[in-house]
């Protein structure tokens, strides 16, 4: 773990804006990940060179082999967590856990389920395997969709595996494997952990897409093979269809917000390109990726997924275990998402025999809407709140942002102490950023409350649209 950085020695993908002023301006707004440094890029590149063939062949392994591999991984993860992580030691001790007792998936499924609320209630130093490394760990502070601030800590090993798994998915969405000279183009508020591997497998990122952004012009310069976008931007891509196809884009990937298969099929037809979805979260990373035949295949070498308490339609809670994160183990973690297992156990037409999901019905955050009905993605709203409200503040317990009318938004907060800045300053900053997103002046009012009102329809939601639109 290291934060060493050498700004001048690494390839600056964001400078490839082609001197197009609108692109340059947006590209400069991209948040630079602390992990995007020379040392991590070098490690990721080495890992990819060593592991990518084996990672690819993992996808077509016999299911029996995969299960044996996962069980060994789970057993070690739980034993290590029990030995090294005070939170799990106490939790599992109560259950009478003994080292080496995970010998089957049924044994594993007897372990208690945790969630963000439980983990947030435990001191950060008790959730990791070595508290003295906490300051050097890669930290992700997030509000997610539940409005409860939460921090996840990771080591370098996590970063390498996570990035490599994203690239494997991207490569498999293309007609032929991704080459090291290829570009991937993100239209997304959040990028990957590194922007290239020392100049190879480069990623250019725009944090937002405006109706006036000359995207097509830039795509013709960059010639990316893949677009990674928020589903809310799919309608805006249509205006750039010709340049998208002329520049050689072979597929579009969506993530972060839920999109329906109808929506994806509709835009896929209009764009004449396949659109793939992924199921991932900030806390766990990539969990399942969609293939050409619409199944969401589990990323079985990174996570172990369970669907529990399924209802009569097959929808149950997603409980995930992160096989990559040994530093802050996430074992049987309930996201609050709902998903349905694919009911056919047969091998998919894509050749994979992994477990898969047929539908994901989670994270139904309401996007906000401007007075001319343009959608403001909930992910863009969360990005503002994460940066302004959540990042610095450990006294924030929860919040909810509610759109009341075309021009009025309300913020409810629950603090357990003083905010990190005077609240008026925080509100003013959020109000300005909202106005930029909306394209006109939006008024933000604030109320500090003892608890967020529990409403069944949007329990767990931190972004709520109460305005029915025009
Ligand atoms: Zn498939």
Ligand 1 centroid – CA 274 distance (Å): 14
Residue 456 half-sphere exposure toward CB, CA atoms < 13 A: 0
Q: Are residues 319 and 373 in the same domain?
A: no
Q: Which of 197-211, 242-256, 448-462 has the lowest mean pLDDT?
A: 448-462
**What pLDDT score was predicted for residue 377?**
67
The reply to whether 470 falls in a domain is no
**What pLDDT score was predicted for residue 114?**
96
**What pLDDT score was predicted for residue 211?**
85
Q: Are residues 179 and 214 in the same domain?
A: yes
Q: Are residues 221 and 299 in the same domain?
A: yes
Ligand 1 centroid – CA 324 distance (Å): 23
Under DSSP, the state recorded for 125 is G
Ligand 1 centroid – CA 299 distance (Å): 12
262 lies in which domain range?
13-62+156-360
Output the domain CATH number for residue 43. Answer: 3.40.50.12780
Ligand 1 centroid – CA 294 distance (Å): 7
Residue 169 half-sphere exposure toward CB, CA atoms < 13 A: 32
Q: Are 54 and 48 in contact (CB under 8 A)?
A: no
201-204: long-range contacts (C-beta < 8 A, 24 or more apart)? 201/48, 201/167, 202/11, 202/13, 202/16, 203/13, 204/13, 204/14, 204/16, 204/27
Ligand 1 centroid – CA 347 distance (Å): 8
Question: Is the pLDDT at 21 greater than 70, yes or no?
Answer: yes
Q: Exposed/middle/buried for 18, CB within 10 Å: 0-12, 13-18, 19+? A: middle
Ligand 1 centroid – CA 436 distance (Å): 41
**What pLDDT score was predicted for residue 365?**
46
Ligand 1 centroid – CA 229 distance (Å): 22
Q: Are residues 339 and 383 in the same domain?
A: no
**What pLDDT score was predicted for residue 455?**
53
Ligand 1 centroid – CA 297 distance (Å): 6
Ligand 1 centroid – CA 308 distance (Å): 23
Ligand 1 centroid – CA 291 distance (Å): 5
**What pLDDT score was predicted for residue 340?**
84
**What pLDDT score was predicted for residue 2?**
40
**What pLDDT score was predicted for residue 147?**
63
The total domain count for the chain is: 2
Q: What is the pLDDT of residues 89-128, one digit of tens each?
A: 999 999 999 999 999 999 999 999 999 889 989 999 999 9
Q: Are residues 353 and 315 in the same domain?
A: yes
CA angle 272, 273, 276 (to 5 degrees): 145
Ligand 1 centroid – CA 405 distance (Å): 43
* Domain final residue, candidates 360, 390, 411: 360
Q: Which of 163-172, 317-326, 360-369, 449-458 has the lowest mean pLDDT?
A: 360-369
Radius of gyration of the chain (CA): 22
The reply to whether 120 falls in a domain is no
Task: Report the pLDDT averaged over residues 387-396.
Answer: 76
Q: Are residues 174 and 249 in the same domain?
A: yes
Under DSSP, the state recorded for 386 is I
Ligand 1 centroid – CA 203 distance (Å): 26
**What pLDDT score was predicted for residue 347?**
86
Question: Is the pLDDT at 146 greater than 80, yes or no?
Answer: no
* Domain final residue, candidates 338, 360, 382: 360
State how far the Cα of 274 lies from the Cα of 292, in Å rounded to an integer.
8
Determine what percent of the chain is predicted with pLDDT higher than 90.
63
Q: Are residues 277 and 313 in the same domain?
A: yes
Q: What is the pLDDT of residues 191-225, one digit of tens each?
A: 899 999 999 999 999 998 988 999 999 999 999 99
Q: Are residues 384 and 436 in the same domain?
A: yes
**What pLDDT score was predicted for residue 254?**
93
**What pLDDT score was predicted for residue 74?**
98
**How would residue 144 be classed by pLDDT, with cut points 50, 70 and 90?**
low
Tell me what the pLDDT averaged over the chain comes to: 89
Which one has a higher pLDDT value, 382 or 250? 250
Q: What is the pLDDT of residues 330-349, one digit of tens each?
A: 999 997 777 889 987 678 99
Under DSSP, the state recorded for 440 is S
Which one has a higher pLDDT value, 271 or 377? 271
Ligand 1 centroid – CA 296 distance (Å): 7
The reply to whether 185 falls in a domain is yes
The reply to whether 85 falls in a domain is no
Q: Are residues 388 and 372 in the same domain?
A: yes
Select from 271, 272, 269, 275 the least CA-distant residue to 290: 275
Alpha carbon distance, N-terminus to C-terminus of the chain: 51
**What pLDDT score was predicted for residue 166?**
96
Question: Is the pLDDT at 15 greater than 60, yes or no?
Answer: yes
Ligand 1 centroid – CA 353 distance (Å): 8
State how far the Cα of 381 lies from the Cα of 387, in Å rounded to an integer.
10
Total length of the chain: 470
**What pLDDT score was predicted for residue 360?**
74
Q: Are residues 288 and 343 in the same domain?
A: yes
CA-CA-CA-CA torsion sign (418, 422, 424, 426): negative
Ligand 1 centroid – CA 293 distance (Å): 5
Ligand 1 centroid – CA 289 distance (Å): 9
Determine what percent of the chain is predicted with pLDDT higher than 70.
91
Task: Report the pLDDT averaged over residues 176-202.
Answer: 95
SS3 content of the chain, % helix, strand, coil (to 5): 35, 20, 45
Ligand 1 centroid – CA 177 distance (Å): 17
Q: What is the pLDDT of residues 255-284, one digit of tens each?
A: 877 676 777 888 899 999 999 999 998 899
**How would residue 366 be classed by pLDDT, with cut points 50, 70 and 90?**
low
Ligand 1 centroid – CA 199 distance (Å): 31
**What pLDDT score was predicted for residue 86?**
98
Question: What backbone torsions phi and psi does residue 368 show, to the nearest 5 degrees?
Answer: -85, 165
Question: Is the pLDDT at 5 greater than 50, yes or no?
Answer: no
Ligand 1 centroid – CA 195 distance (Å): 28
Ligand 1 centroid – CA 354 distance (Å): 8
**How would residue 152 be classed by pLDDT, with cut points 50, 70 and 90?**
very high
């Amino acid at each position: 773990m290291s934060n060493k950085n050498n700004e001048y020695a690494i390839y600056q993908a964001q400078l490839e804006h082609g001197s197009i002023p609108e692109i340059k301006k947006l590209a400069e707004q991209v948040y630079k990940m602390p992990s995007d440094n020379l040392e991590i890029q070098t490690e990721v590149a080495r890992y990819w060179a060593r592991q990518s063939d084996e990672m690819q062949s993992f996808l077509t392994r016999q299911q029996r082999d995969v299960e044996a591999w996962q069980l060994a991984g789970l057993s070690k993860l739980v034993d290590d967590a029990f030995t090294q992580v005070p939170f799990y030691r106490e939790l599992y001790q109560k259950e009478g856990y003994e080292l080496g007792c995970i010998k089957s998936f049924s044994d594993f499924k007897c372990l208690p389920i945790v969630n963000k609320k439980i983990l947030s209630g435990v001191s950060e130093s008790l959730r990791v395997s070595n508290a003295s490394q906490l300051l050097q760990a890669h930290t992700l502070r997030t509000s997610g969709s539940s409005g409860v601030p939460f921090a996840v800590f990771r080591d370098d090993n996590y970063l390498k595996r996570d990035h490599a798994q994203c690239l494997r998915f991207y490569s498999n969405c293309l007609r032929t494997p991704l080459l090291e000279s290829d570009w991937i183009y993100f239209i997304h508020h959040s990028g990957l952990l590194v922007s290239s591997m020392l100049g190879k497998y480069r990623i250019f990122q725009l944090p937002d897409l405006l109706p006036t952004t000359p995207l097509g012009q830039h795509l013709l310069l960059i010639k990316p093979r893949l677009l990674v976008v928020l589903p809310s931007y799919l309608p805006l891509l249509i205006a750039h269809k010709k340049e998208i196809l002329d520049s050689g884009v072979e597929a579009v990937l969506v993530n972060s917000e839920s999109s329906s298969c109808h929506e994806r099929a509709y835009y896929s037809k209009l764009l004449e390109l396949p659109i793939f979805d992924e199921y991932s979260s900030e806390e766990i990373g990539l969990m399942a990726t969609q293939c050409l035949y619409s199944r969401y295949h589990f990323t079985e070498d990174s996570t172990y997924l369970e669907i529990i308490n399924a209802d009569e339609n097959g929808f149950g809670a997603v409980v995930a275990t992160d096989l990559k994160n040994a530093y802050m183990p996430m074992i049987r973690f309930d996201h609050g998402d709902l998903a349905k297992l694919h009911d056919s156990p047969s091998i998919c037409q894509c050749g994979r025999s992994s477990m898969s999901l047929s539908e994901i019905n989670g994270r139904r955050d309401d996007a906000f809407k401007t007075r001319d009905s343009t959608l403001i993605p909930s992910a863009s709203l969360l990005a503002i709140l994460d940066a302004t409200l959540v990042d610095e503040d450990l006294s924030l317990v929860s919040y909810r942002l509610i759109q009341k009318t075309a021009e009025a938004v309300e913020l409810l907060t629950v603090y357990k102490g003083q905010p990190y800045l005077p609240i008026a300053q925080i509100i003013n900053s959020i109000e300005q950023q909202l106005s930029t997103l909306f394209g006109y002046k939006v008024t933000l009012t604030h109320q500090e409350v003892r608890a967020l009102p529990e409403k069944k329809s949007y329990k767990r939601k931190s972004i709520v649209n109460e305005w029915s639109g025009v």
